[in-house]
């Protein structure tokens, strides 16, 4: 983990310098650069806390060449069991926990994750590589996509694929714990974007994912047949979704984005998602955004609130609320401001933007969360 953190820092710091060297060798000049830092904080009804430090750098060169990289350092804190040691409440909390059953369950459990993603775009072709590392999970993904411009650039056709391969090494003091395993994901998508008028954009797309390998939480137990049994999900899953979006710009410097998404998989889950976003420019320095999303899904075929028999349904058992039937709401707002409004005569201040965001999520399974975000953007 220390190694990937060091690599992330070195890669991020060296990208700018190496980009200038590469541009010089190729006879190219930098058209625009952008650097962004975001701090995110998440908390939910169970007092799980997530803090992340996100940094992004983008270098646009001439001849439609673009280089980009982001790094993210994330810290997740799961509260300690609060019930008295040895009590029935404590036993229940420990045996059904979504955390490693190792060490002291009566102390906060902390997990750190580091990730790096790099992308190179050349004349419509985008190549990317992603890697993340945490104490029990190592993930990699390679991707490629191409965008073609047709009919005088009024129609954009985008197609892409990616392949991810993950290594899972569960942490536990229990010899009967889930052994080390792997997971792979093969992805493909097609998106069509049509410019209908000078102020209206229409987009439709579809994607498919084939997932193989360990897909359940190796730390979670499920009550089945009157006792605690380890969670077990199928090791294959075919996921499909289809979406449509409409973006409309208004002459009062505002825009409206509407979206609908339908999802289905071979575990029996189907979902519908409706979303709306409003973006309003206020004066010369401030942008205000609002969003709302409604989501509804059916339960997986093998999901039950309680299992009568220890083998579950066809040998599968799940305690993952995300596989249950659920409907949810998300409300959010965000403010972006140019710091140039504080000193319009300063060239440096006009290149900085600050952002503040808040989102409220809740569903009908008694789960809720607050997400706070702040960021600093520098463009040069």
Under the banding of pLDDT at 50, 70 and 90, the label for residue 27 is: very low
Under the banding of pLDDT at 50, 70 and 90, the label for residue 227 is: confident
Under the banding of pLDDT at 50, 70 and 90, the label for residue 215 is: very high
Least confident of 95-109, 140-154, 189-203, 328-342: 95-109
How high is the pLDDT of residue 14?
A: 37
Q: What is the mean pLDDT of residues 299-323?
A: 93
Q: What is the per-residue pLDDT across 345-362, written as a single tens digit (0 to 9) for each? A: 877 788 888 999 999 999
The most confident of the ranges 24-33, 40-49, 245-254 is: 245-254
Domain ranges of the chain: 1-121
pTM (whole model) above 0.85: no
Q: What is the per-residue pLDDT across 62-105, written as a single tens digit (0 to 9) for each? A: 888 999 999 999 999 988 777 666 566 655 555 555 656 555 67
Q: What is the per-residue pLDDT across 237-296, written as a single tens digit (0 to 9) for each? A: 999 999 999 999 999 999 999 999 999 999 999 999 999 999 999 988 899 999 999 999
How high is the pLDDT of residue 78?
A: 84
Under the banding of pLDDT at 50, 70 and 90, the label for residue 176 is: low
Report the percentage of the chain scoring pLDDT > 90: 61
Under the banding of pLDDT at 50, 70 and 90, the label for residue 216 is: very high
Return contacts of 195-202, CB within 8 angstroms, 24+ apart. 195/153, 195/154, 195/155, 199/248, 199/249, 199/250, 199/251, 200/246, 200/247, 200/248, 200/249, 201/246, 201/247, 201/248, 202/244, 202/245, 202/246
Q: What is the per-residue pLDDT across 256-266, written as a single tens digit (0 to 9) for each? A: 999 999 999 99
Whether the per-residue pLDDT at 184 is higher than 80: the answer is yes
Residue partners of 270: CB distance under 8 A and separation at least 6 = 262, 263, 264, 297, 298
d(CA 347, CA 339): 10
Whether the per-residue pLDDT at 16 is higher than 60: the answer is no
* Greater model confidence, 173 or 333: 333
How high is the pLDDT of residue 332?
A: 97
Name residue, tokens 């659920």: 326
- Average pLDDT across the chain, whole number: 86
Q: What is the mean pLDDT of residues 184-208?
A: 97
Tokens representing residue 306 in the block: 């309680």
Q: Which residues of 238-251 are buried (b: 16+ CB within 10 A; e: fewer)?
A: ebebebebebebee
Report the percentage of the chain scoring pLDDT > 70: 84
Nearest to 317 by CA among 325, 305, 330: 305
Under the banding of pLDDT at 50, 70 and 90, the label for residue 366 is: confident
Whether the per-residue pLDDT at 173 is higher than 70: the answer is no
């Amino acid at each position: 983990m220390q190694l990937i953190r060091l690599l992330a820092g070195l890669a991020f710091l060296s990208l700018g310098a190496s980009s200038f060297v590469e541009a010089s060798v190729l006879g190219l000049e930098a058209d625009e650069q952008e650097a962004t830092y975001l701090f995110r904080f998440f908390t939910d009804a169970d007092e799980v806390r997530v803090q992340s430090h996100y940094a992004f750098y983008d270098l646009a060169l001439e001849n439609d060449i673009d280089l980009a990289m982001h790094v993210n350092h994330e810290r997740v804190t799961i509260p300690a069991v609060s019930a008295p040691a040895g009590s029935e409440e404590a036993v229940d909390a420990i045996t059904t926990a979504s955390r490693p059953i190792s060490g002291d369950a009566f102390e906060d459990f902390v997990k750190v994750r580091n990730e790096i993603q790099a992308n190179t775009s050349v004349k419509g072709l985008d190549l990317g590589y992603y890697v993340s590392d945490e104490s029990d999970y190592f993930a990699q993904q390679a991707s490629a996509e191409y965008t073609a411009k047709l009919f005088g650039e009024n129609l954009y056709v985008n197609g892409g694929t990616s392949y991810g391969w993950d290594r899972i090494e569960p942490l536990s003091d229990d010899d009967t714990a889930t052994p080390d395993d792997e997971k792979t994901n093969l992805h493909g998508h097609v998106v069509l974007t049509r410019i209908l008028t000078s102020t209206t954009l229409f987009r439709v797309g579809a994607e498919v994912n084939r997932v193989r390998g360990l897909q359940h939480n190796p730390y979670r137990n499920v009550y089945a047949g009157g006792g605690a049994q380890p969670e077990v999900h199928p090791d294959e899953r075919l996921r499909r979704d289809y979406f449509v979006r409409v973006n409309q710009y208004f002459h009062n410097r505002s825009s409206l984005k509407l979206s609908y998404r339908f999802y289905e998989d071979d575990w029996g889950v189907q979902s519908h998602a409706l979303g709306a976003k409003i973006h309003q420019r206020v004066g010369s320095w401030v942008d205000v955004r609002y969003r709302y999303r409604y989501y509804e899904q059916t339960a997986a075929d093998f999901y039950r609130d309680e299992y009568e028999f220890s083998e579950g349904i066809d040998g599968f058992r799940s305690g993952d609320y995300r596989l249950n039937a659920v409907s949810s709401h998300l409300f959010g707002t965000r403010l972006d401001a140019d710091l140039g409004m504080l000193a319009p005569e300063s060239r440096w201040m006009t290149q900085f933007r600050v952002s503040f965001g808040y989102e409220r999520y809740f569903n009908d399974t008694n789960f809720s969360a607050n997400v706070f975000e702040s960021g600093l953007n520098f463009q040069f």
